[in-house]
Structure 1
Amino acid sequence: MTTFQNPLTTGLASAVIPTFNRAYCIARTIDSALAQTYRDTEVVVVDDGSTDGTAEMIRDRFGNEPRVRYLHQQNAGVSAARNAGMLAARGEFLALLDSDDSWHPWKLEAQIAALRRFPELGMVWTDFEAVDPEGRIVDPRHLKAMFAGYKHFSDEELFTARYPMRSLTPHLGQLNESNLYVGHVFSRMLVGALVLTSTAVFRRATVERVGLFDTGLKIGEDYDFLLRIAHEGPVGCIDAPAMQYQRGLADHHSRDEHKLLHAVNHLRTIEPYLENDRARIQLSDGQIRQMLADVHRWIGEKAVDGGQLALARKHLAKSLWQNSRQARCLGLLLVSCLPQFCGDALRNIYRRCKMA
């Protein structure tokens, strides 16, 4: 049971913004939280040991803004920063916002209206726009392109009910053509992620039950946390882009070792549910075998990219054990078994083909 530091303020929304060395862009992020049409909002900024003048910038820009609280900690990673912010929050509703992203003004109002209308929901998330470092929109609806879960299931398979947003927020004209989808997505979320953390709003009471972010996971911690919320009960998704997600910044994870760790941590996250909670998982044995084949192949591919061939062979073989009809996986396994001088040439060809 998670114990918060401050008493709950009914109706208050707490926007928790972890940051590290983003003095150049965090002001826009904070401004977007303060500009919410849901006015009963506080902003909790957690500085994870920045050395670029973040503290001074926030003091100068927001020092007289009573709705902004600034916390500083020694560098401990984004999970620890998010946890510190949530523990210090006072809100009935919690929302995480990465320090290079920004919300549209109506975001919290729409999501909190949904949470109030359906008190059984533990979380509501939204679609989002992807923008480049110059602020240009490169994809106006990026949710389904970014997360693997939507490649395997339709909206009708993921959710059991749909409600027009115009019935929940009739004064928000920009949502008149949008819907709130509701359902139990836990089982299907095991197959692939569905939620961008900066789009989600969840109840403090839900976090009290499921716990905080796992600080032992340096990558993939979002998926672990959000999957625990989905495991608790029904959740909802508004099919409208409510924020701008920044792509292509230099400090984003992109190296081969990060991609490999992401894949490994995904498997570590789902394995305990498969071992201990099989009765709750509404997937067929065939779907579970295919899911495991996909995850092991994912790890194997990233291990090949990173030159970790023993690890690649292990997981590619496990993938083929779950589903033997994978020509690409078999080819990669054979490449990973070749002598180094042959294998290096073929692996380079493989990488170039992926990039083409």
Structure 2
Amino acid sequence: MDSTVSVIIPAYNASRTIGETLRSASAQTYGNLEIIVVDDGSRDETPEIVRAHAATDSRIRLVTQANAGVAAARNAGVAASHGEFIAPLDSDDLWHPAKIERQLQVFRDGGEDVGLVYTWFALIDGQSRVVQLRHDPRYEGDVLAALAYRNFIGNGSSALIRRDVFDRTGGYDPSLRGRGGQGCEDWKLYFEIAAISQFGVVPAPMTGYRDLDDNMSSDVLQMLRSRDLCTADLLPAHPQLAKAFRSGRNRLSRLLFHRAIRLGRKQDVARLGLSIVRYDPLFFAAMVGSLPISAFKGVIGRLWRSGGYQGQAAGDFAGLNPL
């Protein structure tokens, strides 16, 4: 398989990380790539950094547009590309050098029915140090019900997608931004792909997903709005999955609630608590009621102490050997 893979990188004020992200794309052991960076109206040095990398790697190309949001930027990159496979990569994430090669092998082994292959990810910090290695889903084949419950892929940089399958979906949904719900564009696309094709997985942490305070996913209420908007769009065609959608929404809100507690974000805890009560008061009561008294006291104490969570670095993602 010598197919061209189109790497699509949306970038907005990404000068801190775009250079390292481009280096991880350029270093892939599979070399037949086109690397398209869509600058989404950046006001920093992002375009200049991309041009400098393009001067030393002819596979890199810069596309510019007025700020329109991540979904529009990804779609613009796909429209400007020519590869048989689409490889989204966020401007602050990293890839293991063998990521694309190993995903293409899964496509070869799985045949034409496989429309998307994802990888596990390592959570990395601002210095590209691995802070968590707990992502290990093994969903493959028909994954529609599993995706209704949760986005087990977990980020926008792990998937490799057949172009002809991508073209049969609506692409990334730019309307979420206008509706006040950016954040779940990738989950919605994955669901639409799962409705028409099979999934494959590389069971190794080949993607470095960066966890920063200013990530879109750190806006907890926006993430819930995004999930709700996507569910409202998807549910009419899949009413049999209503219970999975609802349970998955509760799962996400619980994870965000616990994360806000761990990070000591009192305002987020209060807002999430109110959101959960409004959506499913019985679930909120069960969630709080399941905490033992000692744990509940510990939660309150952490909320009022100063300082936040300090991740324990487990190593450098560039040096990780998942093979």
TM-score over 0.5 for the pair: yes
1:230 Cα deviation (Å)? Answer: 1.7
**Match 1:129 to one of 122, 128, 131:** 122
Deviations 1:31-65 (A, max 9, x none): 21111111111100111111212222222332253
Q: Name the structure 1 match of 2:214.
A: 251
Is structure 2 residue 53 aligned with structure 1 residue 61? yes
Equivalent-residue separation in structure 1 for 2:130 and 2:302 (angstroms):
31
For residue 203 of structure 1, what is the amino acid of its counterpart?
Answer: R
How many angstroms apart in 1 are the aligned matches of 2:48 and 2:202? 37
CA contact (8 A) 1:300 1:314 kept: no
| Structure 2 SS opposite 1:190 | helix
**Counterpart in the other structure of 2:263:** none
Aligned match for 2:184, one of 220, 234, 245? 220
**Structure 2 counterparts to residues 133-148 of structure 1, below 5 A:** 133-139=126-132, 141-144=133-136
Q: How far did residue 116 of structure 1 move? A: 2.3
Q: 1:290 to 1:108 in 2, by over 3 A?
A: closer
Hey, what's the Cα distance between the residues in 2 that align with 1:300 and 1:242?
28
Q: Following the alignment from structure 1 to structure 2, what is the Cα–Cα distance between the partners of residues 300 and 56?
A: 39
For this pair of structures, how many residues does the alignment match? 287
Aligned to 2:159: 200
Q: Which has the greater radius of gyration?
A: 1
Seen in structure 2, the aligned counterparts of structure 1 residues 225 and 288 have a Cα distance that, compared at 3 Å, is closer
Cα drift, residue 270 of structure 1: 2.1
Q: Deviations over 1:155-193 (max 9, x none)?
A: 4xxx4xxxxxxxxxxxxxxxxxxxxxx221111211111
* Residue 66 of structure 2 is aligned to residue 105 of structure 1: no
Instruction: Answer yes or no: is the 8 Å Cα contact 1:316–1:329 preserved in 2.
Output: no
The answer to whether 1:188 aligns with 2:146 is yes
Contact 2:29 2:97 in 1 (8 A): yes
Letter in 1 for 2:216: H
Structure 1: 4+ residue segments shifted above 3 A: 271-276, 287-302, 304-309, 311-315, 347-353
Give identity over the alignment, percent: 30
Residue in 2 that maps onto 1:169: none
Normalised by the length of structure 2, the TM-score is: 0.76
Residues 262-301 of structure 1 mapped to structure 2, 5 A cutoff: 262-279=223-240, 281=241, 290-291=247-248, 294=251
Letter in 1 for 2:120: D
Q: Equivalents in 1 of 2:226, 2:203: separation in Å?
A: 28
Deviations 1:11-45 (A, max 9, x none): 10010111111223212211211111111111001
> Counterpart amino acid of 1:21?
N
User: In the aligned structure 2, how far is the partner of 1:300 from the partner of 1:26?
Assistant: 30
CA contact (8 A) 1:300 1:315 kept: no
TM-score by length of 1: 0.69
Work out which of the residue numbers 205, 222, 241 in structure 2 matches 1:241: 205
- Cα distance in 2 for residues equivalent to 1:291 and 1:254: 16
Q: Is the aligned partner of 1:120 residue 2:129?
A: no
Deviation of 1:133 (Å): 1.4
RMSD: 3.4
Match of 2:222 among 230, 251, 261: 261
The amino acid across from 2:215 in the alignment is H
CA distance in 1, matches of 2:54, 2:275: 52
Give runs of aligned pairs for residues 315-354 of structure 1, distance below 5 A.
Answer: 316-320=277-281, 326=286, 328=288, 351-352=303-304
Q: Which runs of 5+ in 2 are unaligned?
A: 177-181, 261-265, 292-298, 310-323
Deviation at 1:253, TM superposition (A): 3.3
Residue 193 of structure 2 aligns to a residue whose secondary structure is: helix
Given residue 224 of structure 2, which amino acid in structure 1 is its aligned partner? A
What's the counterpart of residue 32 of structure 2?
A: 40
The amino acid that maps onto 1:189 is: L
C-alpha deviation, 1:79, in angstroms: 1.1
